[in-house]
Amino acid sequence: MRFTNKTALVTGGGGGIGSATVERLASEGATVYLMDKDANQVAETQKGLKAKGMVVNAVVGDVTQLGELQNIYDLIAQENEGVDIVVNVAGGSRAGYVTTLDPDDWDELYALNLKSTINSCRLAVEQMTREGRGSIVNMSSISGLRGDPGWAAYNSQKAAIINFTECLAWEVGQYGIRANAVCPGPIASKRMISTLPAGGGFQDAYNEACAIGRMGQPEEVAASIAFLASEDASFVTGAHLVIDGGLTARTGQPIVPPTGDN
């Protein structure tokens, strides 16, 4: 029960890694608020947790709208005197080559992935500074560590989240606030599986790309997020934790079987 008497906010908490994080924090004693723009997913998450004996506070809202972010932070301040833990999961992706992806698509992804994270962190720090403590975990990706043709908009914003988190950690450390990022690899959430072409062997390819032979599960990412949010990580800040089953641990070069003893 590492989060007893702690108040947490999870943006994008209505499904996948977000809802798994909500459940993990609540199961360890946190008072959890979740924000998601998908009302159906919010209701489904609440219902599933209630069946497990957990009650969470859910708000349907769009993280790209600063006013809606401000509203949930104000609600937390009114009901619980401020937030202790913030996990910024909300985000999205869109494929398209640099030369062909419409400029409006770049702007929409920027607002969803990076700007919403920045705005949420600004509001979180405002409340955390008053208490002299707090933990922020931002959602990046292994896509922020490497390049993928056709995904420049998404990858570049996830890379920016890593650097932003490093800058933030140095700015707020003096106030007792820690800031870290997580970089998941392929996670077998419903959303990701639904985007894979049927019958193309893509899920098998993702499994084989990981050193442990399978994709990850949302609950495994949530466990790592909970570690960073907790006092078990009290000396960890400005870090990005890779959670990818070993996918990025190899160079990606063709594997030539070794010969001889050398």
Which residue intervals of 61-217 are DSSP H helices?
A: 66-80, 103-109, 116-131, 152-172, 190-195, 202-209
The dihedrals phi and psi of 67, each to the nearest 5 degrees, come to: -60, -35
Catalytic residues: 154
45-53: long-range contacts (C-beta < 8 A, 24 or more apart)?
Answer: 45/13, 45/14, 45/15, 45/19, 48/19, 48/23, 49/22, 49/23, 52/23
Distance, in Å, from the CA atom of 76 to the CA atom of 61, rounded to the nearest integer, reads: 14
Please tell me what DSSP assigns to residue 174: G
Residue 57 token pair: 């506070």
Number of other residues whose CB lies within 10 A of the CB of residue 195? 11
